[in-house]
């Protein structure tokens, strides 16, 4: 026997098989890796395109929501101002009556104006904060405390300025004097 290694050809002794040559196998592996890399790059680009599209859609959605909120605020302001115009008309009539020294008409005009304004605020959900009974720091602002006859300590003795709220939100707390003990 010789010292040279035997070569196997399709399971027999003889010339070398092409599947077994390292250069051919490396080239085949490189082609497979290149194909996989190109496929992965295509998938990456598709995913990035999808992400860019979603990001653009979200940005457009965000801009649309901001625009719609601005329009809603503008319309609600217009609606309230439209309701305030008759109150302004009443005030003008009261001032006109005052210029002609018609005190009874001035007083009547001011009362009507106040009633109109109260009705308008009520139609918008604004209600007066009750200021009788115990002091509540959530809806009352204590301006001072002082002794008050006939009023229990810690209760509202006097209302300096009425408070208002819409639902649970306090627009302005009632400014009050609290009775001390």
Reported as a single tens digit per residue, the pLDDT across 140-164 is 999 999 998 889 999 999 999 999 9
Specify the fold of 127-181.
Answer: Nucleotide Exchange Factor Grpe; Chain A, domain 2 (2.30.22)
58-75: pLDDT as tens digits: 999 999 999 999 998 888
Q: How many CB atoms lie within 10 A of CB 73?
A: 10
Measured over the CA atoms of residue 9, residue 15, residue 18 and residue 23, the dihedral's sign is positive
Distance CA 128, CA 166 (A): 9
User: What residue has token string 């940005």?
Assistant: 59
Global confidence as pTM: 0.56
Give dist(CA 128, CA 139) in Å, integer.
10
Which 3 state secondary structure label does DSSP give 169?
strand
* Residue 77 confidence (pLDDT): 79
181 in Cβ contact with 136 (< 8 Å): no
Write down the domain spans for the chain. Answer: 19-124, 127-181
């Amino acid at each position: 026997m010789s010292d040279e290694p035997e070569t196997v050809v399709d399971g027999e002794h003889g010339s070398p098989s092409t599947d077994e040559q390292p250069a051919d196998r490396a080239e085949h592996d490189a082609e497979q890796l290149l194909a996989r890399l190109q496929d992965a790059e295509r998938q990456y680009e598709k995913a990035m395109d999808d992400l860019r599209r979603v990001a653009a859609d979200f940005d457009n959605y965000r801009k649309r929501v901001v625009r719609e909120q601005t329009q809603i605020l503008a319309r609600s302001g217009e609606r309230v101002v439209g309701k305030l115009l008759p109150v302004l008309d009443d005030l003008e009539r009261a001032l006109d009556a005052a210029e002609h020294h018609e005190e009874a008409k001035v007083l009547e005009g001011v009362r009507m104006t106040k009633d109109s304004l109260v009705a308008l605020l009520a139609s918008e959900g604004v209600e007066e904060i009750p200021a009788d009974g115990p002091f509540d720091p959530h809806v009352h602002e204590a301006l001072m405390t002082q002794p008050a006859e006939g009023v229990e300590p810690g209760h509202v003795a006097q209302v300096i300025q009425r408070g208002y709220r819409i639902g649970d939100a306090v627009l302005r707390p009632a400014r009050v004097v609290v009775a001390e003990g």
